[in-house]
Structure 1
Amino acid sequence: MSKILVTGVTGGLGSAVVKFLLGKAEASNISVLVRDAAKVEDLKSKGVNIIVGDYNNYDSLVAAFSGIDKLYFVSGNDIANRLPQHENVVKAATEAGVKHVVYTSFQRKNETATSPIAFVAEGHLKTEEWLKASGLAYTILKHGLYTDLLPMFVGEQVLETGVIYQPAGDGKTAFAWREDMAEAGANVLTSEGHEHKIYDITGAKTYSYQDIANIISEITGKQIVYVSPSVEEFSKTLTDAGVPAQYIGLFAGFSGAIKDGEFDEVSSDLADLLGRTPLDVETFLKGVYGK
């Protein structure tokens, strides 16, 4: 059995990957990379190997990756330092002799600086380049937007306000559930034939925010309307409401990408990797708003 190491396990995606791996492989063959071992005591109790390391510490990565066959590389969330961190991971994996790297990238069409999400794109695009040039066997998972983010995007008070307020126009998104993405990742790690493959990890259908408003309205019996302001009006409204600038920029960037059609593309790759139909948005939203 391959020795597998998963990064990012204190986050939702990495922890879910490990959960699915524990149903497919012996715990003794699974390792996780963490900065603070105290945060994964539950995994230690299940027999998972805990390795302390940091994307910022190259030597710790080389040591962590020694003897590892397959690495599930979760992209870092420190946008400002992502480039040097990811370069460390790829170089360390190469030096340590990792046989196969599975990298969590992102769905996109526009790879230029004109993209509304260029601020998050650069690290992913460079990492893909580094992996392809490294000589390592790799699999790139181009993740679409999480269905799980919809309650945040539509607003925690959407049932009280009755309004979804995002500058996304009529753009549509092939949202996919994070648990399905994690299960697909675990399937890639525990099966063969994925070397040098790029998979588009999306849901089976695209949805606009108007579609989301209609679904929530039907589930709750409360009329939800969708309003798409200009980015300038959106930014001013949220600024006046006291929302921090970094969140406004994040929401505006992803809504701009949705409006531009960056995520308006469906692939069967997720369903193929799962061997079943992924969870749809309607079912997810019923679980959130149908209580």
Structure 2
Amino acid sequence: MGKILITGVTGHLGRIVLDKLLTKVPASGVKVLVRDEAKAAPFRQLGVEVAIGSYDDKASLIAAFKDVDKLYFVSGSDTAARGRQHENVVNAAVEAKVGHVVYTSFQRKNETSTSSIYFIASTHLLTENLLKSSGLKYTILKHGIYTEMIPIFVGDKIFETGVIFQPGGEGRTAYALRSDLAEAAVAVLTGQGHENKSYELTGPEAVSYAEIAAKISAITGKNVSYVSPTPEVFTAELTKAGVPSEYIGLFAGFSVANKEGEFASVSSDLEKLIGRKGGSVEAYLQQVYGGK
């Protein structure tokens, strides 16, 4: 039997998957992909095989994927280059005869170019279609928005301003913890019967920014309210504050998508894979803001 290869191990999600996988599978059965030899040492110390390769270099991927039975394919972070990079990964997996590819996609409702996050969605849709037409066995994990993104979306000045300022309207999001998503991935990588299936992995409830503000207020005893400006006002205010335009566009896109209900659907797939409900937003906020 071939090895399980984990990509993205120098990032948050991939490393959590690796650590959880090593509680289930001997290190000798695991391989990781890293771009830079300088980052390989910590993984070699774990006893796993290290392959040096990049999504930009198809030949390096073919070599890395040799004798790989299951590939955990973390989507690339370079949105401009991601389509080409993902084609390299899928084509390399075909050439290397990888047994099963598990891909990290994301939850969405609108799959057309009218979506406010189509600039993100388009490459995920491309990759899913490439996998489905490749002849490879695949599992698509449609991740909900990470719960860990909440402090980034609400900003680090909420106790100075007393306001969460996002154009999200009354929209709700079924946030999911990275650790729960990683646990689900390990369940797929070490289990059976997941071939050619898609799972929507969300948290157990969908919450609004107004509810998040109320929860933070209750936890800290400090009054935090929620203001939902128009995207135009949001952009103008963040531009005035010196926030780089690419971040403004990203935040605005996700907030408008939130308003449009892109991430509101709650699925039981995560609970079925990990055997319990996912962690709650309230417990996470208590952990983050409890000492504030």
**Smaller-chain TM-score range?**
over 0.9
* SS of equivalent to 2:173: coil
2 CA distance for matches of 1:288 and 1:39? 29
Q: Residue 216 of structure 1 aligns with which residue?
A: 216
Q: Residue 100 of structure 1 aligns with which residue?
A: 100
Structure 2: gaps spanning 5 or more residues: none
1:161-176 paired onto structure 2 within 5 Å: 161-176=161-176
Structure 1 vs Structure 2 CA RMSD:
0.8
More divergent stretch after superposition (129-138 vs 38-47):
38-47
Determine if contact 1:174/1:204 at 8 Å carries over to the other structure: yes
One-letter code aligned to 2:161: T
Structure 1: gaps spanning 5 or more residues: none
The Cα offsets for residues 244-284 of structure 1, whole Å up to 9 and x where unpaired, read as 00000000000010000000100011111111111100000
So what's the TM-score if we normalise by structure 1? 0.99
1 CA distance for matches of 2:264 and 2:270? 15
1:102-181 paired onto structure 2 within 5 Å: 102-181=102-181
The Cα offsets for residues 37-63 of structure 1, whole Å up to 9 and x where unpaired, read as 322422210101110001111111111
1:5-44 paired onto structure 2 within 5 Å: 5-44=5-44
One-letter code aligned to 1:247: Y
One-letter code aligned to 1:182: A
Q: Residue 242 of structure 2 aligns with which residue?
A: 242
Q: Residue 233 of structure 1 aligns with which residue?
A: 233
1 CA distance for matches of 2:50 and 2:36? 10
One-letter code aligned to 1:204: P
The Cα offsets for residues 4-26 of structure 1, whole Å up to 9 and x where unpaired, read as 00111111010110010010000
2 CA distance for matches of 1:159 and 1:42? 38
Determine if contact 2:201/2:270 at 8 Å carries over to the other structure: yes
* SS of equivalent to 1:31: strand
* SS of equivalent to 2:81: helix
So what's the TM-score if we normalise by structure 2? 0.98
Determine if contact 2:4/2:31 at 8 Å carries over to the other structure: yes
One-letter code aligned to 1:63: A
Q: Residue 258 of structure 1 aligns with which residue?
A: 258
* SS of equivalent to 2:172: coil
Size of the aligned set, in residue pairs, is 291
Determine if contact 1:10/1:40 at 8 Å carries over to the other structure: no
The Cα offsets for residues 215-251 of structure 1, whole Å up to 9 and x where unpaired, read as 0000001110000000000000000000000000000
Determine if contact 2:98/2:136 at 8 Å carries over to the other structure: yes
Determine if contact 2:2/2:67 at 8 Å carries over to the other structure: no
* SS of equivalent to 1:145: coil
2 CA distance for matches of 1:183 and 1:262? 24
1:195 aligns with 2:204: no
One-letter code aligned to 1:234: F
The Cα offsets for residues 52-96 of structure 1, whole Å up to 9 and x where unpaired, read as 001111111111101000000000011111111100100110110
2 CA distance for matches of 1:290 and 1:160? 17
1 CA distance for matches of 2:14 and 2:180? 12
Determine if contact 1:174/1:266 at 8 Å carries over to the other structure: yes
1:56 aligns with 2:51: no
2 CA distance for matches of 1:41 and 1:286? 35
Shift in Å at residue 2 of structure 1? 4.7
Identity %: 59
2 CA distance for matches of 1:15 and 1:65? 19
Following TM superposition, the consecutive aligned residue runs of length 4 or more in structure 1 with deviations greater than 6 angstroms are none
2 CA distance for matches of 1:138 and 1:112? 23
1:45 aligns with 2:49: no
Q: Residue 65 of structure 2 aligns with which residue?
A: 65
The Cα offsets for residues 94-134 of structure 1, whole Å up to 9 and x where unpaired, read as 11010100000010010111101010111100100000001
Shift in Å at residue 209 of structure 1? 0.1
Determine if contact 2:65/2:92 at 8 Å carries over to the other structure: yes
